[in-house]
Amino acid sequence: MPPSTRRPRPRPLRLPARWRAAGQRLAARRGARFARRHVLPWFGILLVAGVGAGVGFALAPGAGTYVGPLQTEVRVRPSLTPGVEVDLPPVGKVTFDTHRAPIVVTATIESVDVDAAARLVRSPQQLLALELTAADTVRAATVRAAALSLACGIAGALLAAVVVHRSRRRTLQTGAALLVVVVATGAGTAATFDPAALRQPRFTGLLSRAPYVVSSTQNALDRLESYRSGLSDIVRSVSTLYATAANLPVLGDARAAGTGLGEDVTTVLHISDLHLNPLGYDLTENLVQQFGVQAVLDTGDTTTWGTAAEASFLGRIGGLGVPYVWVRGNHDSGDTQAQVAAQGAIVLDQGSTAQVAGLVLAGQGDPVFTPDGEGTAATGSAEQLQEQANRILADGIRTWDQSHPEDPVDVALVHDPSGLDPLQGRVPLVLAGHLHKRSVTLHASGTRVMVEGTTGGAGVTSAGLARLADGTPLPLSATLLYFGRSGDDAGRLLAYDEVTVGGLGLAEVNLQRTVLGEEDHPPLTVPTATASGTSSRSAPAPAG
C-alpha cells in the first residue's frame, strides 16, 4: 500500500489517572478479600494443625519390643533429618539414610537381658532363630509406633483446632489437611526408600572411631546384603557389648557417673602406638569426656618417622584438657620428644618422676630410634640395651621411694616391654606398648605388666597401611585404669576397662572390665640373689 493510503495506527485508549487509581484500589481490595477469605484461613488451619500435631507427635509413646535379648523402644516421628537411627548408649549411634521423606525411625536400647545375651552369643541355633525373626519383630514394632504417632498427631491437631477455632467446620478442615500431609509423607517415604542404604551405616560417638572398611571384605558384604542378616549382625554385636558391660562390678558405695565405680577413684587412660592416626586421638578425646578421665598416660610411638613434619599431629595433646604424661617410643625422635613437651605434656625420661592426679609416675624413653619395621620383642643385644635403660628407671624409682617412703612410685612407664627384670618387684604396675598386641601379666615378684595394643590401629606405618588395604586393620585399643584415691587403697589399681574399637562391616565397641581383689595385689619382692624380704606400699624394696 502506498504511504499516502496507509491507515494511521489507532492510539491506545488512555483512561484518566483517577480512573486508573480507582481500578487499582478495587483490584487490591479484591485481592485482599480473596486472601482474607481463602488464603489466610487455610494458612491458619495448617499452622494450628502443625503445632497441635507436633505436640502430639512429641508426646506419642514408643512401641516396645524384644529383639533377641534387647528390650527396644521404637519411635516414628517427623524430622528434618530422615532415616533410621539405632541408639546404643553409651557408645554411640548408628544411622542409615534409607529415605528422603521427613520421617525418622528411632530404635533405642532400653535394657538388656544379660543372661539371654550371653546365651545368644554362644548359641548358633539362637543366632539362626534371631536372624529368622528379628526383621518381622522390628517391622511390627515400627508399624505400631507409626500408628501411635499418627493417632497422637491427629488428636493433637484436632484438639488444637477445637481450642483455637471453636468451629466444627474448621476442625474437620484441620483433620483433612493433616491427613493429606500424612498420606503425602507416607507415599514419599515408600517412593524414596532404598534398602541398599542398610549396607551404608554412619556412626557417631565411640562407634565413629571404628575403622569401617568395605573393600576386600566380601564375606561381610554378602551378609549385609540381606536385611535379615544385617539386622541380626547388629543385634549380635550389641548383645556381645552389653553382655560384658551391662553387669560390670561396682566398687564403693556411691556410683561415679559413667564408670559404675565408686567416687573415691582416680581414673586414668593408657594409650600407646598412635602412629599418626587421628582416629586414635578422637578415641582418646571421647574416652576422656565420657569417663571423667583425670590423666592420659601415653607409652610412645605417637609418630612414625620422628620428623619435624609430623609435629602438627601432636597439636591434639593440649586440647584434651587433662594432664598428658608421655614416654618416647622407638619411632619417636629426640625432636619428637621436644615437640611433645612444647605441647604442655609431662615427658618422663632417664628415670624421672612426676606426681599426677594423686599418682606417682616414673618413666624411661626407649633407648633406640628405629622408625622402620613393626614392634617386636627385643632379643639378644637389643634386649640387653632395653634392660640397661630399665636399670636407669629402677634407680630413679629407688631414689624416689627412699626419699618418700610413705608415697612410693605407683606406676612405671616404658615403651618396649623387653628386659623388664630390673623393674620386677620395684613397682606394682608397669605400662608399656610397642607390640601392637594387648596383654596383662602378673610377675611372681608382684609387679603387674600391662601392654597396650595400638590406640591408632598401627596407624600410618607400612604394615598398618597394608592391613588396611587388605581389609584386616588392627582395632583401636585403650585401657581405663581405676586407682584408689585414699586410705589403704591409695595408688592401688582397683580395676581396669579394656576398650576395643574395631570390626569390619558393622563397627563395634567392646568394653571388658576386670576388678582386682586382695589376692591380685601380692607384696612386692625384688627377685635378686642379694635381696631378702618384701616391700609394701609403705616400705620400698631393698636395693638389688
Taking the C-alpha atoms of residue 470 and residue 247, their distance in angstroms, rounded to an integer, is 36
pLDDT score, position 440:
96
**DSSP label at 369?**
-
Write out the E strands in 394-525. 411-413, 429-432, 439-442, 448-451, 476-484, 493-502, 508-515
Residue with more model confidence, 100 or 247: 100
Q: What is the average pLDDT value for the chain, to the nearest integer?
A: 77
Three cell numbers, residue 193: 526408600
* In the predicted structure, residue 372 carries a pLDDT above the cut 80: no
The pLDDT of residue 20 is: 58
Whether the predicted pLDDT of 403 surpasses 90: yes
Q: What residue segments make up the domains of the chain, in order of their start?
A: 51-207, 221-250+259-520
Express each pLDDT in 102-130 by its tens digit. Answer: 888 888 877 767 677 667 656 667 766 76
pLDDT digits (tens, 9 = 90+) for 478-495: 999 999 988 888 999 998
Return the SS3 of 336: helix
56 C-beta neighbours (distance < 10 Å), count:
23
Integer-rounded Cα radius of gyration of the chain: 33
Secondary structure class of 302 (helix, strand, coil): coil
Q: Of all residues in the chain, what percent carry a pLDDT higher than 90? A: 31
Q: How confident is the model at residue 459 (pLDDT cuts 50, 70, 90)?
A: low
Q: What is the pLDDT of residue 252?
A: 43
- What is the distance between the alpha carbons of residues 179 and 164, in angstroms, rounded to a whole number? 19
Measured distance CA(162)–CA(506) in Å, rounded: 49
What are the start-end ranges of the H helices in 166-277?
168-192, 218-224, 227-245
The per-residue pLDDT for 159 is 85
Contacts of 533 (CB under 8 A, 6+ apart): 525, 542
pLDDT tens by residue, 1-54: 455 556 666 555 555 666 556 666 655 555 555 555 555 566 667 777 778 878
Residues 535 and 541: their CA atoms lie apart, in Å, by 4
Cβ–Cβ < 8 Å for 157, 49: yes
Instruction: State residue 438's pLDDT score.
Output: 94
Give the DSSP letter of residue 312: G
* CA 145/CA 149 separation, integer angstroms: 6
Taking Cα atoms as reference points, which of 220, 215, 250 lies closest to residue 237? Answer: 220
Q: Which residue has the higher pLDDT, 312 or 397?
A: 397
**pLDDT bucket at 543, cuts 50 / 70 / 90:** very low
Q: Per-residue pLDDT averaged across 245-258, rounded?
A: 41
Cα(541)–Cα(527) distance, integer angstroms: 10
Give the pLDDT mean for 270-294. 88
Put simply, whether the predicted model's pTM sits higher than 0.85 gets the answer no
Tell me how far apart the alpha carbons of residues 238 and 540 are, in angstroms, rounded to a whole number: 46
Structure confidence by residue, pLDDT tens digits, 158-176: 888 788 877 787 778 777 8
Alpha carbons within 13 A on the beta-carbon side of 18: 0
The CATH code for residues 221-250+259-520 is: 3.60.21.10
Task: Taking residues 349-364, report their average pLDDT.
Answer: 97
